Amino acid sequence: MTPNLILTADPDFADLALAELQQADRTAQVLAELSAGVWAVYAPSGFWLVAERWQARPPIFVRHICPVDTAVDLPDSHKDVVLLERTVKAEFASLIDPALPFSIQARLLADKPYNKFAVNSALSDAIELLTGALLNTAEPVQVLSVVITEPVAYVGLSLAATNLSSWAGGEHRFAREQGQISRAEFKLLEALAVFRIDLPPRGLALDLGAAPGGWTRVLRQKEQYVTAVDPARLHPSLQADAKVRHLSLTAEQYLEAGPDRFDIIVNDMRLDGRDSARLMVRYAPFLYSHGLAIMTFKLPGDGRAAVLDHAFNILRPAYQLAGARHLFHNRSEITVYLKPK
């Protein structure tokens, strides 16, 4: 049986991701695990119906999907790129809309004498020459996905919006910046991108458990005035920032002191997801009605689905759950986007 979609998730959350697949199509079959966290799937309902269901209600743990329109046998690794270029010219060039930017997203799941960039370059050059469509790897509208295994390559054309992520395999990467304080900054940057959040101009932001200040630095880059709450010290670069107010308190102590009102509340504290949810509910009255909140839920090794359901139920009386995803930069946690009720 030939797969008709490729599904990607963090291998540590495979059970939850594959359960989401069954919810989208109970007849879907996993045919093979192509690599850690990458599965070849046959869904009788088809890629497009699964994608439509997940557009209406995005999954939390499935990070990326792409269609399989054709499978290309690869009998000689040194001729793979030539075979793929022929296939793309013959089967896909006529399907590319020349008015919409496109991207080639190749993934190599086998040891080959070439890299994914060689595939991307050869195929994108062919499409540009044949169609006149413009290559845009950062913000493509249409995507040609090429998943290369040892014996075969799976190729499919789709809209980036149907793939759950416009990045190959959902691997949303950011360049490390000079002055970066912590890896945690990538989590907030990815959340803002994935949930399409526009922060208010010169908003008032509260960062709970801020130290050493990665999320505070991102908020300052977005021109927010930040109140950073944490007994620990902030990074020296933030201590000198007049638009950062550091309160050497725990989040609970700040509640007792009487918080201000904020446009944004963020929370990346290392608490059990349910405890973080309870804390956010206590802070809900201090969020303006037009505001938003972003938090992470730390999940245990066992019973994660039950913990997640419990945490969501704690939040629901105070917040609208606007989004929840296991992002590429998350580890044993998910990121949640909240709006006040």
Hey, which residues are catalytic here?
A: 298
Residue in this structure with the two tokens 């290559």, named with its chain if needed: 135
Residue 207 CA to residue 34 CA, distance in Å, equals 40
Facing residues of 262 across strands? Answer: 287
Could you count the other beta carbons within 10 Å of the beta carbon of residue 183?
11
Q: Which two three-digit tokens encode residue 50? A: 């699964």
DSSP state at residue 135: B
Could you count the other beta carbons within 10 Å of the beta carbon of residue 115?
11
Residue 150 CA to residue 98 CA, distance in Å, equals 32
Q: Which two three-digit tokens encode residue 5? A: 């979609």
Q: Where are the alpha helices (DSSP H) in the chain?
A: 14-24, 47-56, 80-87, 116-131, 184-194, 214-221, 236-239, 251-257, 273-283, 304-315
Residue 58 CA to residue 68 CA, distance in Å, equals 20
